[in-house]
Amino acid sequence: MAVFKKLILLFLTIAVLGAVVVMAQDDVARVAPTGSNPLYLPVITIPFGEAHIYLPVVTSAYLTAPPISIVPFSPPINTDTITDIASAGDERLFVTARQGIIHIIQPDGQLLPTPFLDISDVVTIQNWEQGLLGLVFHPNYPATPYFFVSYTRKFTNQIYIERFTVSPTDPNVASRASQTLIMRIDKTELLSLVHNGGDLSFGPDGYLYIGIGDGGPDPHYGSPDVHDPANNGHRLDTLLGKMLRIDVNGTGLLPQDNCNNEIVNFHYTIPPDNPFADGAGPNCDEIWARGLRNPWRFSFDRTTGQLFIADVGEWEREEVNLEPAGSAGGRNYGWRCWEGTFDQRNPHPEIAGGCLPQAQYTFPIYEYDQSGGCSIVGGFVYNGRMYGALRGHYVFGDFCNGTLKVLSRNPENEWYKAQEVGVGVFISTFGEDAVGELYMGTWNPANQARVYRVVAGNSPNQ
C-alpha cells in the first residue's frame, strides 16, 4: 500500500533492527498486559510547538495538544497489516486485514470469532502495497445496509471498488452474494503493483470520496522509471493520481466516458458540480482533485467538514494537504511536478512540459523530509469526548519511523507540528469510532498486527 514504499529501506531496517523491534514488542507484552496502564509504551515526546496559551481561546487547536500515546485495543490479529478501521455508526469497529478479511471488534476490544466478510479469494497481495485497502459504511446505515470496499484484484492487479450488503438477518455478517462491482481501474503501468491508494470516505455532502494513487512505478522498487511516467496525476483522462467523488445514491448524472472499466453497470452517478465533468467529453467525470502521488489515507473533520489528504512522497517530502469545507474541487496538488514544495522540474527538467504555472497548484499545509520519516500515514482531526484538549488537532503518523505526529494551529490559523511521539510500532492506518475516538492500526511481519487506541494526557476529560 501507499505507505509502504521504501521497501529496500524497510528491509534494511528490519534486518538491522528486527531484533530490537521484536524485543520491544516482547517487552510491551511482558511488562504491560492490555489495559493495565494507558501510558506504558515507551514514549519519547518532542515538543516542537510553543506552549503559549493565547486568549481569547477560539478552539482547542490553537492550544498545544496534550501528549498523546497509544494503548493496545485489540489482540493481535492474524494479518501483516491492518489497512483500515471503520465505524458503522454503532459500537462496533470494523477492521480490514490486508489479505481480504474484515473483522468486527467489540467494545471490549475482542474480535468476533466469525469474520464479517472474507474476500481473500479475489484479493491479490503479491506486493505489500496491495490487498484489501479501504472500507466505509453508507452514511445511512443501517437504513441503507450498504458498505463499500476497495482492493487490488487477483490476476489483473486492477483497483476494484465494490459494494456489499449487510445480511438482513445478522448485522455481524455481510452477504457475499451481494458483491457488486462499482469501479474497476486499470493500472496504466501494467507491471507496477504499487501506488493504489484505496481509502474511502463519505464527505459531509453525502458523496463517496475515493483516493487513488498514480499507479506507480516506484523507484524504491528498482524501476528505472520515476515520477509518474505517464503524468497520470495531471491527466484528466485517467482516474489514477486523483481524489474521486461519486454519488452512490444514483441522483446525479450518468457517467459517459471510459475511465471506469465497469461503467456500463451504472451503480453510481456523477455529482453535477464535479469540477471536470464534461459528459461524453474526454475528462473523467469522477475527478474531484488531481496531482496526487499516493493519497494512502485521507479524512474529513467531522466537525468542520475540512478534508485532510496525506500524500506519500517519493524521496523528498511527505505532505498533508487541506481542502476547506465547501471547496469547489478541481485543485491540483502538484505531483509529479512538485513533491510538496520541492520543485521536481529542477532535477528533472524533462517533465516541465507537463507542468502548470506555479500559481495553479495547491501546496501542503505541512510537509516533512526524511528527517521526519519516509511514508506518511494520514489520520484524523480528533473530535472525540475523552480528551477535550485534543479536539481540533490533526493526528497522523509515519510508517517508517513509527512516530505519531500532531498538527495544531497558531492564532494566525497556520498549521504547525505541535508534537511528535515515537510509539515503537509500524503505523499503517487510522480510524474513528462512532463518537470520534481515534484508533490506529499496524503492520507486523509476524502476522500479529493489532489495533491501538490513541490516548491523550494522563487523565480523561482534561
Q: Which of 257, 367, 420, 432 binds Ca ion (CB under 5 A)?
A: 257
In the complex, the smallest distance separating the C-beta of residue 455 from Ca ion, rounded to whole angstroms, is 20
Q: Which of 18, 35, 47, 281 binds Ca ion (CB under 5 A)?
A: 281
Q: Are 211 and 83 in contact (CB under 8 A)?
A: no
Q: Which of 285, 323, 398, 433 binds Ca ion (CB under 5 A)?
A: 285
Record the cell numbers describing residue 362, joined without a space: 495547491
Instruction: Count residues near Ca ion (CB under 5 A).
Output: 9
Q: Which residues of 134-173 are buried (b: 16+ CB within 10 A; e: fewer)?
A: bbbbbbebeeebbbbbbbbbbeebbbbbbbbbbbeeebee
Binding status of residue 211 toward Ca ion by CB under 5 A = no
In the complex, the smallest distance separating the C-beta of residue 367 from Ca ion, rounded to whole angstroms, is 8
Separation between Cα atoms, residue 130 and residue 320, nearest integer Å: 23
Binding status of residue 283 toward Ca ion by CB under 5 A = yes
Interface region with Ca ion, contact rule CB under 5 A, candidates 87-95, 156-164, 277-285, 377-385 = 277-285
| Secondary structure element (H or E) that encloses residue 95, with its range | strand 93-97
Binding status of residue 278 toward Ca ion by CB under 5 A = yes
In the complex, the smallest distance separating the C-beta of residue 293 from Ca ion, rounded to whole angstroms, is 7
Cis? peptide before 217, omega within 30° of 0: yes
Site residues for Ca ion, 66-95, by CB under 5 A, read 84
Interface region with Ca ion, contact rule CB under 5 A, candidates 115-123, 138-146, 191-199, 367-375 = 191-199
Q: CB-wise, 50 or 278, nearer to Ca ion?
A: 278
In the complex, the smallest distance separating the C-beta of residue 283 from Ca ion, rounded to whole angstroms, is 5
Q: Are 40 and 25 in contact (CB under 8 A)?
A: no
Q: How many contiguous H segments (helices) and E segments (strands) does the chain have?
A: 1, 27
- Give one DSSP letter per residue of 351-417, joined into a string: GGGGPPPGGG----SEEE-TTS-SSEEEEEE---SS-GGGTT-EEEEETTTTEEEEEEE-TT--EEE
Binding status of residue 272 toward Ca ion by CB under 5 A = no
Binding status of residue 367 toward Ca ion by CB under 5 A = no
Report the candidate in 126, 51, 11, 133 with the shortest Cα–Cα distance to residue 84.
133
Q: CB-wise, 60 or 162, nearer to Ca ion?
A: 162
In the complex, the smallest distance separating the C-beta of residue 224 from Ca ion, rounded to whole angstroms, is 24
Contacts (Cβ under 8 Å, ≥6 apart) of 404: 68, 69, 70, 395, 396, 397, 419, 420, 421, 423, 427, 440, 454
For residue 167, give the 3-state DSSP assignment: coil
Binding status of residue 129 toward Ca ion by CB under 5 A = no
Q: CB-wise, 331 or 450, nearer to Ca ion?
A: 331
In the complex, the smallest distance separating the C-beta of residue 301 from Ca ion, rounded to whole angstroms, is 14
- Give one DSSP letter per residue of 32-82, joined into a string: --TTS-TT-S--EEE--S-----SS---GGGSPPPPEEEEE-SPPBSSSBE
Binding status of residue 286 toward Ca ion by CB under 5 A = no
Binding status of residue 378 toward Ca ion by CB under 5 A = no
Q: CB-wise, 192 or 260, nearer to Ca ion?
A: 260
Convert residues 320-359 into a mask of x (bound to Ca ion by CB under 5 A) and - (unbound).
Answer: -------------xx-------------------------
In the complex, the smallest distance separating the C-beta of residue 269 from Ca ion, rounded to whole angstroms, is 13
Which residues of the chain form contacts with Ca ion (CB under 5 A)? 84, 199, 257, 278, 281, 283, 285, 333-334
